[in-house]
Structure 1
Amino acid sequence: MTKTKALLYGLFLLTVVRLSAQSNALSDSPYSVFGIGIPNAFSTGKTNALGGAGIALKSDNSLNALNPASLGAMPVKHFFFDIGYTSQYTSLSQGSRNGTQSISSFSNLAMAFPVTKESAVSLILAPYSKVAYNLSGVTTSIEGSTSFYTSDVEANGGVNSLDLNYGYSFWDKLRLGVTGTYYFGKTEQTTYNDILGYSLDIQEESRYTGYRLGAGLQFDLNQNISLGSTLKLPATLETNQKSIISQDYDDDITEETSLDNFDLPLEIGFGLEFKFGENYAFYTDYIRKSWSNTQQADALDYYKDQEEFKAGITFTPHPGGLYYWQNIEYRAGINYDTGYLTIAGKDIDQYSLSLGLGLPVSRSGSKLNLMYSYGQNGTRSNNLVFEKIHSLSINFSLDGIWFVKSKYN
C-alpha cells in the first residue's frame, strides 16, 4: 500500500470515526474510499424491482443478467436488448453534520440472441463499482511538531465489467451456462494539502484490469417451481498507478508504480422461483461472497464475508388480456446486505425496499421497466456515516423478432 493510500485511509478514519472529526463537508459516499469502490447494485430488466432477486428467473421474455443459464430458455428468432439508467439521491449524516448528494448514470447496456434452438449468447456492459467521495477541511498533525496541516480529498471513477455469457438447455428442464468477464476502469484521486502556507497537491490515477470465469444452472421442478445457482470464481485485478506531485517550491514529480493487486472473492448464489397460477410469481435469492479469504494487503482488516438476502414478487392482472392495464406487471422487493466492511468495530450493512412497474410497449413483449427504492447504509454508531438512499431506475427491455416473413406485401 502506498504512503498516499495510507494517508487517505487515515483521513477517512479522522473524518468518520473520531468524535472530534474536523471534516466540514460530506459529499457522495465516503465508504467508496475502500478497495475499488461501492459495487453496482443495478441489473437488467425487472430484477431491480425484485430486490435484485432473479437467479432462478428464465430469459424467456426478457434478458436476465443474473444467471447465464437463463439464456437456455430464450425463444428462437428473438432478439433481446436492454439499456438502463439510474439516478440516486442520498442524504448523509454524521453526528450533528448533514449533507446531500445526487448522481445519475447508465446502469447497463446488454443484448442477447439465440445460437441454436437450445442455446443463446449475451453481451453485457455495466459498471462494476463506483468511487465518488469528497472529504474537505481535514486537519492532520505534522509529525514531530505541534503544527497541523489541512487536506481536501476528491475522487471519482470506477471499474466496469464486460460479460460474455452462453446458456444451453437440456431436456427443457435443465439449463447450464458459463460466463467470462473482463474488468477494466480507472479511479482518479486528488489530495490538496496546505502545509504551513505551502501547497502540495497529489494527483493519482489508478488503472484496473482483470478476468473472471463463472457458471450457472437452472432446473425446473415443475411448471411452477424453478431452482437456480451461480458461481463466480476468485479473480485478481492488476493495478497500476500514475502519480503527479505538484508543489509551490519545486518542479512536478511524476511516478508510475505497480500497486498490490485487488482480489475479487469466490461468490456462490442460490435462487428460487415460485409461480402462483398465471398472475403471481415469487423470487428469492441468497448470495455469499468470501471476502475474508482474499487476505488483501491494503484491507487493514476491514473486509469480512458478505451475505445478501433478496426477495421479490410480481403480479399481472390478466396476462395476454385485451386491455393495456391487464398486462401491466406490478413488482415489489426487499434486499438485505450484511456488507463486507467492518469499521471501528461496526459492520457497514445495508437494506432496501423497492417498488416497480413493467409497462408493455408492444405486443412482441417489449417493456419499459420502472423502479423506485429506498435504502439505508452505514450506521450512526461510533460517529460513522449514515446514508439514506433514494433510487430510481429506468430500463427499456426490447424483445425483437428476427427472420419472420411478413404476411402482407
Structure 2
Amino acid sequence: MQFTIMNKHILLIILLATGGLAAQTNALSNSPYSLFGAGIPNTFSTGKTNALGGAGIALKSDNSLNSLNAASLGAMPLNHFYFDIGYTSQLFNLNEGAGTSKQTNSTFSNLALAFPVTTKSAVSVVLAPYSNVGYDITGIEHSIEGSTEFYSSDVSGNGSLNSLDLNYGYAVFNNFRLGITGSYFFGKTEQTEYNTIYDYSLDIQRENRYSGYRLGMGLQYEVTEKIAIGSTVKLPSQLKTTQNSIITQDYADAITEDTSVKDFELPLEVGIGTEFKFGKSYAVYADYTRKLWSDTDQELGYGTLIDQNIFKTGLTFTPKPGSIYYWENVEYRAGLNYDTGYLNLSGADVKNYSMSVGVGLPISRSGSKLNLMYSYGQNGELANGLIRENIHSLSINFSLDGIWFVKSKYN
C-alpha cells in the first residue's frame, strides 16, 4: 500500500501553523469592545464558509472540512483526510466622533484535521480562538469619592480564549446525519491599568485564566438532492476562572494576590441552516443562530449582556464543475452577515454587519483548494457615546484533501 500525502512545502505550512497557534498570545482584535467579558467572539471558521458570511450549518463535508456542524462529517469519503489551516489579517478604523485611529493585526486563525473512521463516520479535531481581547484605552476619568475632583486611568489588554474541538459525525441513512462535539476551552487574558491620582501613580496588572468543557450536537437532513437542512445546539457551560493581580504604587513594594472571581459562563446556542442547489453551478446557504447570553447572569460593570441573533447567507458559483479548464472549476463566493450583538452599553445594542467575497482556487486534482476571502464590516455606531469600528478582513485557508491507503497503479 502507498500512503500518499502532500508535498514538503505543504507539510512545512502545517508545521508553521502548529507553532504559530501554540505560541499565540496576542489576540486578533483591536476593539475597545473586547474589554467586556472574555473578549470579541471569533467569527472565522474553516474552508469556504468565511466567504459565505459564516453560513454553512447545512453544508456537508463531502469534499472539504466544515467545522460548523459535526454532523457534516458523516458525508466524508472513505480513504480521504482533510487538513485546514487558516490565517487572517484585519485593519480596524476606529471612529469616536472627535477623532479616528487605525490599527492592524494578523494571526493564524485555525488548525484542523479530519479522517474517516468507517464508511459512515468520521472524526475531526479543530483548534481555533473562541474569543479575542485587544484594546488600549486612554484618558478614562473617575470621580474621587467624597470629592468633586477626578483621577485618570489608561487601560490596555490582550489575550484570547481558545477552543479545542473533537467532532464525530455519523450517517444514520444516506440523507440523514448526526454529530456530537466535545470542546475544551483554555486561555488567558491580561489587563494593565495605569492610574494617576494627584502626583501619585497606582498600577494594577490582572491576569485571568480560563479552563472548562462544553458539549454540542448537530444534525443534517437532505430533503432532496437540491435541498438540505441542518441544526446545531451548544449547551451552556461554566469555565473555571482564576485571577492573579499585581498592584504597584509609588514608594511601596508590589503586592501580588490571587483574587476570587466568578466563573465565566457560556450561553446556550441554537442554530438552523438551509442549503439550496440550482443546477450544478449555484448553491445558496442561509443560517440563523441565537445565543442566550441574558441567561448567564454575568455582570460586566459598564453594560449588560443581551440575547444575540445572527443572520448569515451566502452564494457559491462554479462555472463548469469537472471541466478540463482550470478557471471553470474555480468557485466564486459572496456572503452577508448581520449580528444584533450581545452587548448593551449606555442603553444601545452594539450591532454589527459584514459583507464578504471570496474564491476557492483548486490546487490539486484530489479536491484541495486555496480559499481566499475579503470582508468589510461595521461594529457599533456613533451614538450614545459608542465607538464605530470599520473593519477590513482578509483570510486565507489551505483546505487540503489527501488520499491515503490506496494501492499504486502501474501502466
Same fold (TM over 0.5): yes
SS in 2 for 1:244: strand
Maintained 8 Å contact 2:303/2:346:
no
Maintained 8 Å contact 2:84/2:113:
yes
Maintained 8 Å contact 1:164/1:180:
yes
For each residue in 1:81-140, what CA deviation from the matched residue of structure 2 results, as whole angstroms up to 9, or x when unmatched?
Answer: 000000110111112211111111111100000000000000000000001110112232
Counterpart CA distance in 2 for 1:56 and 1:328 is 22
| Sequence identity percentage | 67
Structure 2 residue 260 is the aligned partner of structure 1 residue 235? no
Q: Which position in structure 1 is the counterpart of 2:167?
A: 165
Q: Which of residues 392, 395, 406 is equivalent to 2:394?
A: 392
Q: Which of residues 72, 80, 83 is equivalent to 2:82?
A: 80
SS in 1 for 2:160: strand
**Letter of the 2:305 counterpart:** Y
Structure 2 residue 151 is the aligned partner of structure 1 residue 149? yes
Q: Which position in structure 2 is the counterpart of 1:314?
A: 316
Counterpart CA distance in 2 for 1:248 and 1:296 is 34
Maintained 8 Å contact 2:90/2:105:
yes
Maintained 8 Å contact 1:95/1:383:
no
Deviates more, 1:129-138 or 1:157-166: 129-138
Counterpart CA distance in 2 for 1:194 and 1:286 is 46
1:32 Cα deviation from its structure 2 partner: 0.6
Maintained 8 Å contact 1:28/1:100:
no
Matches within 5 A, 1:117-136: 117-136=119-138
**Letter of the 2:176 counterpart:** L
**Letter of the 2:331 counterpart:** E
**Letter of the 1:153 counterpart:** V
**Letter of the 2:67 counterpart:** A
Maintained 8 Å contact 1:284/1:310:
yes
Counterpart CA distance in 2 for 1:384 and 1:92 is 11
Residues 102/280 of structure 1: CA separation in 2 closer, same or farther (3 Å cut): same
1:258 Cα deviation from its structure 2 partner: 2.5
SS in 2 for 1:381: coil
Counterpart CA distance in 2 for 1:407 and 1:136 is 66
For each residue in 1:134-169, what CA deviation from the matched residue of structure 2 results, as whole angstroms up to 9, or x when unmatched?
Answer: 011223232223443221111000100000000000
1:28 Cα deviation from its structure 2 partner: 2.2
Q: Which position in structure 2 is the counterpart of 1:14?
A: none
- Paired residues in the alignment total 383
Q: Which of residues 166, 172, 176 is equivalent to 1:174?
A: 176
**Letter of the 1:357 counterpart:** V
Q: Aligned Cα RMSD in Å? A: 1.2
1:299 Cα deviation from its structure 2 partner: 6.0
Q: Which of residues 100, 111, 114 is equivalent to 1:112?
A: 114
Maintained 8 Å contact 1:260/1:297:
no
Q: Which position in structure 1 is the counterpart of 2:59?
A: 57
SS in 1 for 2:101: strand
Q: Which position in structure 1 is the counterpart of 2:12?
A: none
Q: Which position in structure 1 is the counterpart of 2:358?
A: 356
Counterpart CA distance in 1 for 2:360 and 2:244 is 45
1:345 Cα deviation from its structure 2 partner: 1.1
Deviates more, 1:312-321 or 1:143-152: 143-152
**Letter of the 1:255 counterpart:** E
SS in 2 for 1:47: helix
For each residue in 1:51-102, what CA deviation from the matched residue of structure 2 results, as whole angstroms up to 9, or x when unmatched?
Answer: 0000000000000000000000000000000000001101111122111111
Counterpart CA distance in 1 for 2:292 and 2:30 is 27
Deviates more, 1:101-110 or 1:70-79: 101-110
Q: Which position in structure 2 is the counterpart of 1:101?
A: 103
Q: TM-score, normalised by structure 2?
A: 0.91
For each residue in 1:194-238, what CA deviation from the matched residue of structure 2 results, as whole angstroms up to 9, or x when unmatched?
Answer: 222222111110001111000000001111111100000000111
Q: TM-score, normalised by structure 1?
A: 0.92
**Letter of the 2:251 counterpart:** Y
Counterpart CA distance in 2 for 1:395 and 1:331 is 14
Residues 52/164 of structure 1: CA separation in 2 closer, same or farther (3 Å cut): same
**Letter of the 1:108 counterpart:** N
Counterpart CA distance in 1 for 2:303 and 2:155 is 23
Residues 267/85 of structure 1: CA separation in 2 closer, same or farther (3 Å cut): same
